[in-house]
Each structure stands twice: as structure tokens, then as C-alpha cells.
Structure 1
């Protein structure tokens, strides 16, 4: 079943979302499909992470019927001022919410948010075998610009990552 934008509430994360965000992130960590992180996250850790966020580095959640089904965030790309308009994004969906179009709505909302915030580029790194994330990025106008070979080890195994980027043309003036 595909979801439409009006079936979901997309909003900024609140402190009370920390447990759901931790659960969703921990699924991604344990499944070894989306991150080099290897330790599960607790609600307390994610609450502290949320508290560190500012207006320029939001976390959005996708919610349906009061349940958080996914989250997406923007982090600083590099600390130098020349990169202030480049944001690095993460997106994670609850395993029960995958394949329904929720990621497309959530990432689309994140793109709208970075446009509003004045970013000119959004980027991320994706495991080559994470075909769902690569398809999602392609569907929303991201291009694959290269591969970092043997970027880091996960469970003692070197993994490559595919670099994806999307320009925000309105902010390139």
C-alpha cells in the first residue's frame, strides 16, 4: 500500500519522540543496511541528541495515527564557513513502514525544509547494497557522484559507500 502526503503528519521532532527515534535507528543499526554505527541507541541518548539540534539542523518525523514511522535529519557537512549551505542528511524508517512511500514523503519534506533554510546542496553516503535508499534518492533528484572505497569497517569488513547529492537550484544565486 502506497501512502500519500496527506495521510502522514510530517513535523519537527519533539522530546517525546526520542523513544520511537531510538527504536527506528536501532533497527537500522542491527540490520546492518544503513549505517556504520554498531551500538543500539537508547531513548536517553536520542533525547540528548535531539536537545543538541538547532533550527538549522532539524529532525523531522513522519507520523500516522499518532505513531512515528520514520525520521530524517540534517547535520553539518563540515565546520568551515564555506560549507554552511551543504547539509548531510540521514533517513530511517521503521521496518513496518518500509515500501509504502513514506520515505519519499519524508525526504521530500526534508528537501523543502533545507530549501527554506537556504541550503544549496544536500548529500549523504549510502551502502551500495542498500538499493531501497538508492532508489529513493534517485526518485527525488539525487545523483550518484562517486564511491568512497573501503570507507570504514562494519563487523570487521570493509564497506564502500555511494555518495549522493542533490542541488537546491533556488538557493544557488
Structure 2
């Protein structure tokens, strides 16, 4: 598959939102029950390091970063969100997007990428490990789905070897 990794544009939002909804529908990608508005999503993510995998006019997946704290000492610690369209999973698109966001985040001075993955989302955990993330803990029954089912999350992080303390 000959796709490109490009900066996300506002005009990509509808497809980005649709992919997010596909993730919601899996029941193991997020605890959210609905996609946010563009304004809410935009406010909750860094302006830098937003990427999409694009094939012609189709968005195959996306990645973006969010701050984890407003304290200055944590300026280089961010949370990763990554979603791949249902029909494009299993094609290394997620690994390509993660690799791009790792490179770009380090250029922006970010030293730690963090994520919390629902324990049953084995493929996402494996993909993150492939890209240099390590498991740092489990939060047991931390949140529940709208259906009332409680889930554990696996906490993972990737520390830069070129930015900050390695």
C-alpha cells in the first residue's frame, strides 16, 4: 500500500472523526462513547505532531498528542492518541504513524510519550512495544464503558534517547 504520512489538516477532520468512531465501536480503543466536536478535539491536542496516513483522498489512520500536565516541569511529557481505520488495520500504518510522531516530537523537545491502553487491546499494546514503548504498570478497573463493564488499562511510555534525560 503506497500511502504517505502528512500533517493533519482541518479538512481531514470528518475522516479523522469517522476513524475515531470506528475505534469507539470496537469497545476496546477508548472509554469515550462519542466523538468530540472539532473545537473540543482541537483544544485537547497539541497543534504540533498531528499526522494522518493518506492514500489519495482517503485517511487511513491518525495520531496526535495531548499534554499530560500544565506544569512547566512536565512540558516534555505528552499522551499519544492513535487510531487506524477498520479496513486498514494490520498494514503497519500504526507503526508508521508512531515512528513519525516519535521523530517529530523529539524535534519539538518532547522526551516522554505516554499512553493508557485498554488491556484487551492486545494489537495496540504490541504495536507500541514494537515502536519502543514499555509497559510501566496496570491500572485495574480504572474506568467503565457506558455498558457498565469495568476495564484495566496498561500504562506504557517511550523515553527519548536524544531529548531530555535518557
Match of 2:110 in 1: 119
Measured after TM superposition, the shift of residue 117 of structure 1 is 0.6
Describe the shift of the 1:15–1:48 C-alpha distance in structure 2 as closer, same or farther (beyond 3 A).
farther
Q: TM-score, normalised by structure 1?
A: 0.88
**Matches for 1:1-80 after TM superposition, within 5 Å:** 3=1, 7-39=2-34, 41=35, 45-46=37-38, 49-50=41-42, 53-56=45-48, 58-80=49-71
Measured after TM superposition, the shift of residue 52 of structure 1 is 6.6
Measured after TM superposition, the shift of residue 46 of structure 1 is 2.7
| Aligned-partner Cα distance in 1 for 2:46–2:122 | 31
Residue 150 of structure 1 pairs with residue 150 of structure 2: no
SS of residue matched to 2:162: helix
| Aligned-partner Cα distance in 1 for 2:44–2:148 | 31
Identify, as 1 or 2, the structure richer in helix.
Answer: 1
For structure 2, the residue ranges without an aligned partner over 5 or more in a row are none
Give the count of matched residue pairs. 164
Match of 1:130 in 2: 121
Moved over 3 A (4+): 50-56
State the Cα RMSD in Å: 1.6
Cα pair 1:18 1:47 within 8 Å, conserved: no
SS of residue matched to 1:170: coil
For structure 1, the residue ranges without an aligned partner over 5 or more in a row are none
SS of residue matched to 1:33: coil
| Aligned-partner Cα distance in 2 for 1:130–1:52 | 23
**Matches for 1:89-108 after TM superposition, within 5 Å:** 89-108=80-99
